[in-house]
């Protein structure tokens, strides 16, 4: 009797049943059946239901009961798989923007060493452009909505943090160093894809490619002549937040009914206030006052705004087509063009051995193939969250934290980032930034 009642509470319509309904339903069954449904059992039903709901909100893909399809904007959106042409077009477009934006930002920071100001210009320009084109009905973008904006707050935090850490990394270290270390993200994402996004573990070939990436990175770090503690701290900040951002945004674009341009608009326009606050707190106004404004500086700022708009749209567009690990692999592989351009335009790059180790990483990444989605009938999802953590134990953890497990994880993540950023900023005056001198400024293109 108890099993039948518990199963009834965990059917597809479970999410639409309130706690009061659960209580009244339990009381009715208790009155009708007497000894068959004691008070302790009824309390367990209601308690387990609350914990299951909290678990499903944190890892919705692992709910062991299928969800009922509703018209809510929070329901997963059923989409047709992309065609070959659409997938190739998205990858090529994203690769072009991704590969050149890093170089453009590096050059722009040589002219104007103010990362927050540059990001503020890029995101504001992208947000305004999307809104204007949407009003002209050139494209379709969702208007700002309070409920949807709340869901994007975590995305905005991770987005701003990764962009700022990215800027500081390439300002303080060669582009090659950043590319090499970011190529290791698939090592972590392959596991997180399996745990949180329902994909299978990598095949033997893909596992070998991940080992090749790790070996290439170890070789590069051992011979890195431009080693900078401050630069590596910023890369660690980027690494930690970026991994969370890739997984979380992949889940977000799959669960919130929004157009790709709408997601681009939300991400960019909601990030502007955060960057404005960072611009004031970090004192970049004084940096701008001491900057020698030239036509080249203005040109590269405008160029970075255009490339940033394309990057924002295509990143969301491509995330919706492929897995999180494959997205990271594409991002790493398109850096081949970045390396070639970086090698030819100036001398701020690694030695031949360093470039060789970098190509080992990228070549290994080319061998990686996307893991398929797991077969639910063969999955441990109904019994376990992780191979070493049973679902019952996980529910106990969620229960002990009052259903705020995700909030606690976010708090730990933010605290870790604050500590690392504080250490990196404290070293600001102790190390000489690599590449802060501008090899392009000739003194003849001054403005005014």
394 domain-assigned: yes
pLDDT value of position 377: 59
pLDDT of 379 > 50? The answer is: no
5 domain-assigned: no
CA distance 384 to 183: 30
350 domain-assigned: yes
**Residues 6+ positions from 23 with CB-CB distance below 8 Å:** 46
pLDDT digits (tens, 9 = 90+) for 163-184: 888 888 777 777 777 777 777 7
Closest CA to 357 of 228, 227, 218: 218
pLDDT value of position 325: 66
Mean pLDDT of the region 31-58: 44
pLDDT value of position 378: 53
The residue that leads in pLDDT, 374 or 425, is 374
Least confident range of 84-93, 139-148, 228-237, 388-397: 388-397
393 token code pair:
């134990």
pLDDT value of position 435: 41
pLDDT value of position 300: 92
pLDDT of 35 > 70? The answer is: no
354 domain-assigned: yes
pLDDT of 285 > 80? The answer is: yes
4 domain-assigned: no
Residue 314's pLDDT band (cuts 50, 70, 90):
confident
Task: Kindly report the backbone phi and psi dihedral angles of residue 66, in degrees, each rounded to the nearest multiple of 5, phi listed first.
Answer: -65, 145
pLDDT of 6 > 70? The answer is: no
Domain total in the chain: 1
CB 28 within 8 A of CB 8: no
pLDDT value of position 8: 35
Least confident range of 63-72, 73-82, 92-101, 223-232: 63-72
Residue 309's pLDDT band (cuts 50, 70, 90):
confident
**Residues 6+ positions from 368 with CB-CB distance below 8 Å:** 186, 202, 206, 209, 210, 325, 326, 329
Least confident range of 184-188, 278-282, 423-427: 423-427
Query: Across all residues in the chain, what is the average pLDDT?
Result: 68
pLDDT of 31 > 90? The answer is: no
pLDDT of 439 > 80? The answer is: no
pLDDT value of position 67: 39
pLDDT value of position 413: 62
Q: How far from chain centre, in Å, is Cα 317? A: 14
pLDDT of 13 > 60? The answer is: no
Closest CA to 262 of 276, 275, 247, 252: 252
Residue 71's pLDDT band (cuts 50, 70, 90):
very low
Burial of 60 (0-12, 13-18, 19+ CB in 10 A): middle
CA distance 437 to 426: 21
pLDDT digits (tens, 9 = 90+) for 324-371: 667 777 776 676 667 777 667 666 556 777 778 777 877 787 777 777
pLDDT digits (tens, 9 = 90+) for 76-102: 445 577 787 888 888 888 888 877 887
Mean pLDDT of the region 51-56: 42
The residue that leads in pLDDT, 274 or 258, is 274
pLDDT value of position 199: 75
DSSP string for 279-335: HHHTTHHHHHHTS--BHHHHHHHHHHHHHHHHHHHHHHHHHTTS-HHHHHHHHHHTH
pLDDT value of position 283: 84
289 domain-assigned: yes
What is the chain's alpha carbon radius of gyration, rounded to the nearest angstrom?
Answer: 25
The residue that leads in pLDDT, 17 or 147, is 147
pTM (2 d.p.): 0.57
Residue 193's pLDDT band (cuts 50, 70, 90):
confident
pLDDT of 206 > 70? The answer is: yes
198 token code pair:
């329902």
pLDDT of 279 > 70? The answer is: yes
pLDDT value of position 424: 63
Least confident range of 46-50, 248-252, 260-264: 46-50
Closest CA to 242 of 300, 146, 327: 327
56 domain-assigned: no
The residue that leads in pLDDT, 219 or 41, is 219
Highest-pLDDT range among 69-83, 175-189, 202-216, 318-332: 202-216
Domain extent, residue 190, equals: 84-426
185 domain-assigned: yes
pLDDT of 63 > 70? The answer is: no
């Amino acid at each position: 009797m108890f099993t039948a009642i518990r199963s009834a509470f965990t059917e597809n319509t479970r999410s639409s049943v309130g706690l009061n309904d659960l209580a009244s339903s339990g009381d009715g069954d208790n009155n009708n059946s007497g000894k068959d449904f004691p008070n302790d059992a009824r309390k367990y039903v209601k308690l387990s239901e609350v914990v299951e709901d909290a678990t499903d909100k944190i890892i919705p893909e692992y709910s062991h009961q299928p969800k009922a399809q509703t018209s809510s904007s929070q329901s997963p959106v059923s989409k047709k798989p992309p065609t070959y042409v659409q997938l190739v077009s998205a990858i090529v477009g994203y690769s072009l923007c991704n590969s050149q934006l890093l170089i453009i930002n590096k050059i722009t920071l040589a002219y104007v060493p103010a990362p927050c100001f540059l990001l503020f210009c890029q995101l504001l320009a992208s947000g305004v452009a999307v809104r204007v084109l949407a009003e002209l009905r050139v494209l379709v973008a969702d208007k700002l909505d309070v409920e949807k904006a709340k869901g994007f707050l975590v995305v905005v935090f991770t987005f701003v943090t990764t962009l700022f850490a990215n800027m500081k990394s390439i300002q303080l270290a060669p582009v090659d160093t950043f590319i090499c270390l970011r190529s290791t993200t698939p090592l972590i994402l392959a596991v997180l894809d399996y745990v949180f996004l329902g994909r299978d573990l990598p095949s033997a070939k893909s596992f070998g490619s991940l080992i090749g990436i790790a070996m290439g990175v170890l070789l590069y770090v051992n011979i890195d002549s431009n080693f900078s503690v401050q630069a590596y701290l910023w890369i660690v900040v980027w690494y930690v937040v970026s991994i969370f951002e890739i997984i979380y945004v992949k889940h977000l674009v799959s669960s919130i009914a929004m157009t790709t341009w709408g997601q681009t608009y939300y991400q960019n326009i909601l990030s502007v206030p955060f960057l404005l606050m960072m611009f004031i707190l970090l004192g970049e106004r004084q940096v701008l006052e001491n900057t020698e404004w030239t036509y080249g500086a203005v040109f590269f700022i405008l160029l970075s705004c255009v490339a940033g708009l394309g990057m924002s749209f295509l990143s969301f567009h491509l995330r919706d087509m492929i897995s999180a690990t494959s997205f990271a692999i594409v991002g790493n592989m398109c850096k081949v063009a970045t390396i070639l351009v970086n090698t030819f335009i100036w001398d701020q790059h690694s030695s031949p051995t360093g470039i060789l180790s970098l190509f080992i990483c990228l070549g290994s990444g080319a061998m990686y193939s996307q893991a398929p989605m797991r077969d639910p009938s063969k999955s441990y999802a109904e019994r376990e969250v992780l191979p070493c953590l049973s679902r019952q134990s996980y529910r106990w953890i969620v229960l002990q934290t009052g259903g705020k497990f995700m909030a606690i994880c976010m708090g730990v993540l933010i605290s870790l980032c604050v500590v690392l950023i504080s250490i990196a900023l404290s070293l600001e005056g102790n190390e000489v930034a690599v590449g802060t001198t501008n090899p392009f400024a000739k003194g003849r293109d001054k403005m005014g």
